[in-house]
Structure 1
Amino acid sequence: MDFDLTDEQRLLADSVNRFVSDRYGDFEKRKAYRAEAKGYAAANWSAMAEMGLLGLPLSEEQGGFGGGPVEALLVMEAIGRGLVVEPYLATVVLGLGLLRRAGGQEDLLAEVAAGGTTLAFAHQERQARHDLHDIATTARQDGDAWVLDGAKGVALHGDSADRLLVSARTAGGRRDRAGIGLFLLDPATPGVTRRGYATQDGLRAAEVVLEGARATLLAADALPLIELVADEAIAALCAEAVGAMETLRDLTVDYLKTRQQFGRPIGEFQALQHRAADMLVATEQARSMAMYAAMMVQGSDPAARATALSAAKALVGRLADQLGKDAIQLHGGIAMTEEYKAGHYFKRLTMLGVLFGDVDHHIRRVVAAGGLPD
């Protein structure tokens, strides 16, 4: 595989890293963004639209960048470095990933790329754990529309999204793979209730209750589409974790160089140098797996793709967890304060570790598949 970036990819990486540095270089700015009405800065979202980041996965004919998993990796790494709070994963990776493949919504795609509309994917249900096919929400046809009943949880940025993409069962039993449709609805539609809340990492999510809510069918038998976009989201999460790990590692090393004990910087103690070296190794291992995920998510075999993405998610999750714990321990008490940013990076890494399946879940998937694809 060729891991060298093209000139366009290098320009993209430079541009998004500069944006994150300018907007998030001062950690106090992040706190101010979180305090805004939607939990993020509208000005930042508009700037991302102007840079073309919101149309990244769209084709040039659709007014987008024509980017793929490698471009997404570059953007998500930068988002991880800055702990960006804007709904990029929810709107671009998940929302656009589903919407553009379902087809028939060209005007809405343009609105999203221009920054005028945000999306959220309401799929997770309480009983399902990490099984994407476990759907109890029902959909029944009523004329040209469909009527949805059920409840969804942890819809990322679902409390402020302008449109919701919702999975619901049109036929079959709760755990059947067939009979799952993908629907589009306006959250202002009668019968939709949203309860928003802050997640542990400072971002936003929502519980969504549907009681006779009317929606538009985007795709019937949509589970393969949902699984593909979920795999793309896993690749994006691995890349974001690498960015966060890299920054948390550098923050820890800087602290070891400045914190004094027994009249000398604690970074001079050999045992702590070994811990810092382990953090470097963990970051580079995670980076390799994130690159592997970006390559494998483009595969045409769904089973091989899913196994590869599970392996990447499991290893990156384990490495991120260990690095985060080491960073907190090496910092000492200061890392547990709300004012210091090390703890916020650890919280985000913890959240990334459970989104779309935790380490144990993905290890079980790899084992069930008989190991990685050849």
Structure 2
Amino acid sequence: MDFSYSDEQRMLADLVTRVVADHYAFDAREGYIASPEGHSPDVWAQFAELGLLAVPFSETAGGFDGGGAELMVVAEGLGRGLVVEPYLGRIVLAGCFLDGALDDAAKADTLEPLITGEARWALAVHEPAGRYDPYWIETTAVKDGQGWHLSGRKATVLAGDSADHLIVIARTSGDNPAQSGLSAFWVDADTAGVRRTGYTTIDGQRAAEIWLDDVAVDADALIGVEDEAGTALEYALDRGVVALCAEAAGAMEIACDLTLDYLKERKQFGVPIGSFQALQHRMVDMRMNLEKVRSLTLWAACSLDGDATERRQRLASAKTMVGTAGRKLAEEAIQLFGGMGMMDESSVAHYAKRIIMIDHYLGDANFHKDRLLRMLAEESVALASGKADRAA
């Protein structure tokens, strides 16, 4: 099977590489993180101008109808530059949810301001009690004569600190952790009863804790169909996992390159330490971990529009590998750098932080490994049951 990029995908990769190289020098990145926005509005505007914000969206939404491979190309390039622009939270999670939930007539009008870089959305889904489970939703939405009243708390809402509009996932029927019975609501961030605390994460991203205290919204704040937001939520989260895995692959690649350069430059006993066979073996192990992540990510990315069971298994496999192989690579990079790898002035330390923190976004390795094992066990039981029925 040919996994090489097409001409269009290579052009997209070159575009991302150029814009990141032009704007994401190490010192510039530190300045973006320290700014009030936590990123560069100028860079974000250029992303919009170059069409990068339109990549994951369908043509009916005004996007480029990019698939998993195109999303992987963009995210991997962002990972190489440790980009802190809110691409994951604002475009992949919030934007793809809207793309999956809205009808064709509403998509273009709603998503056009997002694609042009003007609108600022955030997907508020995960909750403290649910930990990594996106379907454990204790936030409630109670219908009254005028609309809805929302109450609950959302945790680690990516890009939620700067969002003008929130997509709040609430349970309107059923019990946790059922995927059914979930509804989504458009809530302006300045609505009475909405409280949020923004913060910078360890890896330089921005997120927020959000409380909803009997927030009243109109009936038309409901996004899509009541009780059926679970399908669009899965659509967005699946693309979020691919983007995270691809970003991890990009960051891991640069961490490997930085470590190899250091091994060639650092000398002991009058020779570069990279000449020591034991360190060469460790460097090879780092590259092997990178290729494991990249291969499984591509496998998952190519499955986004395929069979649901295969897609879920492959996404869980890729995210599990990011959490295990990615952490191993990050730790090796720090150890091979020695004390220099622990300093904020060393860029490899920031790549290590990002790689390890990616493990904790949208479910860590243990969460996805358990999910994968459950799916495989269910598949095994179904196959055994089918064989028994045929034998009977």
In the other structure, the counterpart of 1:197 is 199
Is residue 234 of structure 2 the alignment partner of residue 235 of structure 1?
no
AA at the equivalent of 2:14: D
Distance 1:96 1:8, change over 3 A: same
AA at the equivalent of 2:159: H
Query: Aligned-pair distance for 1:57?
Result: 2.0
Q: Does the 8 Å CA contact 1:304/1:373 hold for their aligned counterparts?
A: no
Is residue 23 of structure 2 the alignment partner of residue 23 of structure 1?
yes
Unaligned ranges ≥5, structure 1: none
Query: Aligned-pair distance for 1:113?
Result: 0.3
Identity of aligned residues (%): 44
Q: TM-score, normalised by structure 1?
A: 0.96
Q: 1:270 aligns with which of 277, 285, 296?
A: 277
Q: 2:299 aligns with which of 283, 292, 295?
A: 292
Report how many residues are paired: 372
Q: Does the 8 Å CA contact 1:311/1:372 hold for their aligned counterparts?
A: no
Aligned to 1:171, what secondary structure does the other structure show? coil
Distance in 1 of aligned mates of 2:314 and 2:58: 26
Query: Aligned-pair distance for 1:9?
Result: 1.2
Q: Does the 8 Å CA contact 1:191/1:213 hold for their aligned counterparts?
A: yes
Q: Does the 8 Å CA contact 1:135/1:174 hold for their aligned counterparts?
A: yes
Distance in 1 of aligned mates of 2:229 and 2:307: 17
CA deviation string 1:154-199 (max 9, x = no partner): 0011000121111001123343433210111110111111100111
AA at the equivalent of 2:315: L
In the other structure, the counterpart of 2:340 is 334
AA at the equivalent of 2:349: G
Superposition map of 1:116-155 within 5 A: 116-143=118-145, 145-155=147-157
In the other structure, the counterpart of 2:386 is none
CA deviation string 1:102-133 (max 9, x = no partner): 11343220000000012211111111012222
Is residue 333 of structure 2 the alignment partner of residue 323 of structure 1?
no
Query: Aligned-pair distance for 1:352?
Result: 0.5
Aligned to 1:164, what secondary structure does the other structure show? strand
Q: 1:313 aligns with which of 311, 316, 319?
A: 319
Query: Aligned-pair distance for 1:372?
Result: 11
CA deviation string 1:31-51 (max 9, x = no partner): 011111110000000000001
Superposition map of 1:1-374 within 5 A: 1-24=1-24, 26-103=25-102, 104-143=106-145, 145-215=147-217, 216-219=221-224, 220=226, 221-301=228-308, 303-370=309-376
Distance 1:47 1:148, change over 3 A: same
Unaligned ranges ≥5, structure 2: 381-392
Q: Does the 8 Å CA contact 1:308/1:373 hold for their aligned counterparts?
A: no
Q: TM-score, normalised by structure 2?
A: 0.91
Greater Rg over alpha carbons, structure = 2
Q: Does the 8 Å CA contact 1:299/1:305 hold for their aligned counterparts?
A: yes
Residues 220-229 or 339-348, more deviating: 220-229
Distance in 2 of aligned mates of 1:338 and 1:242: 22
Q: Does the 8 Å CA contact 2:157/2:208 hold for their aligned counterparts?
A: yes
* Superposition RMSD in Å: 1.7
Aligned to 1:177, what secondary structure does the other structure show? coil
Distance in 2 of aligned mates of 1:98 and 1:282: 31
Distance in 2 of aligned mates of 1:344 and 1:183: 36
Residues 228-237 or 195-204, more deviating: 228-237
Q: Does the 8 Å CA contact 2:60/2:107 hold for their aligned counterparts?
A: no
Distance 1:371 1:339, change over 3 A: farther
Distance in 1 of aligned mates of 2:252 and 2:379: 27
Aligned to 1:96, what secondary structure does the other structure show? helix
In the other structure, the counterpart of 2:383 is none
AA at the equivalent of 1:178: S
